[in-house]
């Protein structure tokens, strides 16, 4: 309470440049989406407060240790981070070009099954198809259908997520634009 008038006085805020006043935006959650939104808003000169309920910021980007092992809590790999991809351009902009990515190699994942069966997931769609055909030679038609569906879903996801950033009253326009309705 302030002295004299009996009215409650709210907290005073300052940004790093000494400007006082409330925040322009409050971002709930410090995961990849929250931190990306906050970084983009600050690049636009907005004052942003990021709130996180966990004691470690980062959402699914952090790790923890149990005994001698280190575990990630979510993100396994980040794909399509190239000079020309949307993700690559966004990250380059957010980090002022200071972030570099290391390739996961030609094979970015491998599945091992208890009976000794193993299948590699290479970076190349053609090599992935070849691996599946080698492992399942009698299923070429099903493999090709699966790959076609996967390509269709991957293509639709970009438009879907871009449409989700629109305000609710404009989402229908985004959905119509990308052919979802």
pLDDT tens by residue, 64-101: 899 999 888 887 778 778 888 878 888 888 888 898 88
The CATH number covering residue 72 comes to 3.50.50.60
Domain count, the chain: 1
pLDDT at 3 over 60: no
Whether 122 and 131 have beta carbons less than 8 Å apart is answered as yes
170 found inside a domain: no
- Specify the DSSP element, H or E, that contains 120: strand 118-122
Q: Which has the closest alpha carbon to 35: 27, 23, 43?
A: 27
**pLDDT tens-digit series, residues 33-58:** 899 899 889 888 888 999 999 888 88
Residue range of the domain that includes 10: 1-77
Band (pLDDT 50/70/90 cuts) for residue 1 is very low
Average pLDDT over residues 161-171: 71
126 found inside a domain: no
b/e 100-133 (16+ beta carbons within 10 angstroms → b):
eeeeeeeeeeeeeeeeeeeeeebeeeeebbebbe
14 found inside a domain: yes
Distance of CA 118 to the CA centre of its chain: 28
Whole-model pTM above 0.85?
no
95 found inside a domain: no
15 found inside a domain: yes
């Amino acid at each position: 309470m302030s002295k004299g008038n009996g009215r409650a006085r709210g907290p005073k805020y300052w940004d790093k440049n000494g400007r006082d006043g409330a925040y322009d935006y409050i971002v709930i959650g410090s995961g990849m989406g929250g931190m990306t939104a906050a970084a983009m808003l600050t690049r636009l000169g907005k004052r942003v407060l990021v709130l996180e309920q966990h004691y470690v910021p980062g959402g699914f980007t952090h790790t923890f240790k149990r005994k001698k092992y280190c575990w990630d809590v979510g993100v396994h790999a980040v794909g399509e981070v190239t000079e020309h991809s949307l993700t690559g351009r966004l990250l380059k902009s957010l980090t002022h070009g200071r972030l570099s990515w290391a390739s996961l190699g030609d094979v970015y994942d491998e599945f091992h099954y208890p009976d000794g069966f193993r299948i590699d997931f290479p970076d190349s769609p053609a090599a992935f198809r070849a691996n599946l055909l080698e492992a399942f030679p009698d299923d070429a038609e099903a493999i090709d259908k699966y790959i076609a569906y996967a390509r269709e879903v991957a293509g639709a996801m970009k438009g879907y997520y871009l449409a989700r950033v629109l305000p609710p009253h404009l989402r229908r326009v985004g959905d119509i634009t990308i052919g979802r309705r």
